[in-house]
Structure 1
Amino acid sequence: MKLFNSSSFVKLSIMASKPQQLRPLAGTSRAKRERTITSNSSVSESAESNPMKDAFAKYANYLNDLNDKRERVVKASRDVTMNSKKVIFQVHRIGKQNKDEVLEKAEKDLAVVRDQYVSRLAKELQGTDFWRLRQAYSPGVQEYIEAVTLFNFCKAGTLLDLDGVNAALRPLSNPSMEPLQINIIDYVLGLADLTGELMRLAIGRISDGEVDFAKKICTFVREIYRELTLLAPVMYDSSDMKTKMDTMLQSLMKIEKACFSVHVRGSEYIPPLGSADARFPLLGEDDIER
């Protein structure tokens, strides 16, 4: 015997699929339950929420200050980069006749970069965690390393080490706070860029007939490349350094090719008749008259 017919079964299925709400009886109303908080719970809740709120506010202020400082550091780094490039362009004007004049002018420009622009960068970074803002100031520091080492090579013929660079920067910071010191990573990356400027300088000196100076540059760049080849695999910025090492090798090959070409052409060179070249005494005027 069937308990339900087909129509009643359909109605029950529809009712089961839809949640039913009970309607209040006539004359009654559903009163909302009031939420009450005791005095003890309010005190404990406020005591727990205030420290978290203060901590969040302090952290938000810290992030805002850090972003503002990063903006100032980026601006100072750009100024260091721009004015360091001016020193590099000044050094490239060096020649046999104006060497002392060019180096004197470059030294003054380098002092301006250090005392005005690097000093501003040092004041922003002193007493802080340098690594948090390293990506902001690293390009300017690398360009400064490139300028100061290029100038030192043209003046003294040697490489200015990291201790010498940092010694010149210590007076720029407040002695009572931790001074800005350039790290080894930025110094090595700056040296990698230096080889490109030395390549341009060597090509320019060869065109002016200063072959010996170009050979000196070639030896200097070869030594830098050999030393950095041992250091590059263990550096923190290995990817960036790998790209610069490839560029450095190309610069070294260009210098070697230019010096070799001059050497070969020089060995095949025969001076004109009547010249006073000691290597060809039979071509001299005295020998012809005899």
Structure 2
Amino acid sequence: MLYSCAIWRISLMASKPHRLHHLAGRTELSTAKRVRRTMTTQSSISEAFTNYTDYLNHLNEKRERVVKASRDITINSKKVIFQVHRISKDNREEVLEKAEKDLAAVTDQYISRLVKELQGSDFWKLRRAYSPGVQEYVEAATFYKFCRTGTLLHLEEINSTLLPLSDPSLEPLQINVLDYLLGLADLTGELMRLAIGRISDGELEYAEKICKFVRDIYRELLLLAPKMDESFDMKTKMDTMLQSVIKIENACFSVRVRGSEYLPLLGSDNSSSFLLGMPDIEP
């Protein structure tokens, strides 16, 4: 009995170093795994940070190109507007043909460059960068369309002209409703200047047509503006639009009421002037 107990104690003492060694090995293996896991996590974070940095750099570079394209669109769209303002009774077709060619050049050269930059991407992220140019383009296009046909150029018509500029396999750039409405609000200012110019040239009926058109735009936008909570620009432009409407109305009213007091230019013998032969209006 004593002999058996002694053997058991000896075997137990002999097995302890093996178990301690086994436990130590497991501990070292677990530590190594934790180190590898930590290194892998740090590597993943570093890689994700690098990718995000590259994305931001790429986005900033794209934004700079988009701003440049938007600036070019603004400058050349203003040239179209200035061209349309040269319109008169004598050169209407000539002026509008030149404006049509200039507008087509803006679309083909500058809008197409903006489309190539933004198609297939989340272009709404860069809206602040290209919105000013798009608004000016909408203003020029709608201004030309009114002077050509006396009607409004709708958003669907503008966007349809942009589709051929895009790669069919990518999401096309489309002008959103807000930029269209903001451009339409700016249009009323140009129409006010046009109406005053037409009155000066004796085209009162044309000025009255412009007045009705601008009044209709203002009335429609007056219903939409309260629902556009995110657009401070539209609320600001509504005040300017109202001033444009008032200026056209006052100009047309003054000519109608006090037309008999206006005299044709000295030396003019044009009997077709709307100011000649107008009876005095009793107060």
Residue 145 of structure 1 aligns with an amino acid whose one-letter code is: V
Matches within 5 A, 1:226-237: 226-237=219-230
Distance 1:143 1:226 in 2: 22
Q: How much has 1:165 moved relative to structure 2?
A: 0.6
Partner of 1:127: 120
Q: How much has 1:39 moved relative to structure 2?
A: 3.3
- Which of 84, 87, 96 lines up with 1:91 in the alignment? 84
Contact residue 259 and residue 278 of structure 2 kept, 8 A: no
Q: How much has 1:119 moved relative to structure 2?
A: 0.4
Partner of 1:184: 177
Residue 253 of structure 1 aligns with an amino acid whose one-letter code is: I
- Which of 41, 57, 67 lines up with 2:60 in the alignment? 67
Distance 2:87 2:103 in 1: 15
Distance 2:145 2:42 in 1: 60
Which structure is higher in helix share? 2
Q: How much has 1:270 moved relative to structure 2?
A: 9.2
Pick which of 225-234 and 259-268 moved more.
259-268
Question: Aligned to 1:158, what secondary structure does the other structure show?
Answer: coil
Measured against aligned partners, the alpha-carbon deviations of 1:161-199 in whole angstroms (never above 9, x if no partner) come to: 100010011111111000000000000000000000000
Measured against aligned partners, the alpha-carbon deviations of 1:209-265 in whole angstroms (never above 9, x if no partner) come to: 111110000000000000000001111543211110000000110000000011012
Q: How much has 1:151 moved relative to structure 2?
A: 0.1
Question: Aligned to 2:127, what secondary structure does the other structure show?
Answer: helix
Matches within 5 A, 1:1-290: 39-266=32-259
Distance 1:264 1:121 in 2: 49
Contact residue 185 and residue 236 of structure 1 kept, 8 A: no
Distance 1:188 1:246 in 2: 14
Distance 1:140 1:74 in 2: 9
Partner of 1:10: none
Q: Structure 1 length as normaliser, TM-score?
A: 0.79
Instruction: Give % identity.
Output: 68
Q: Structure 2 length as normaliser, TM-score?
A: 0.81
Distance 2:277 2:68 in 1: 59
Unaligned stretches of 5+ in structure 1? 1-36, 281-290
Distance 2:46 2:85 in 1: 58
Distance 1:279 1:127 in 2: 62
Contact residue 195 and residue 207 of structure 2 kept, 8 A: yes
Residue 176 of structure 2 aligns with an amino acid whose one-letter code is: N
Unaligned stretches of 5+ in structure 2? 1-29, 265-270
Partner of 2:10: none
Residue 148 of structure 1 aligns with an amino acid whose one-letter code is: A
Q: How much has 1:278 moved relative to structure 2?
A: 7.0
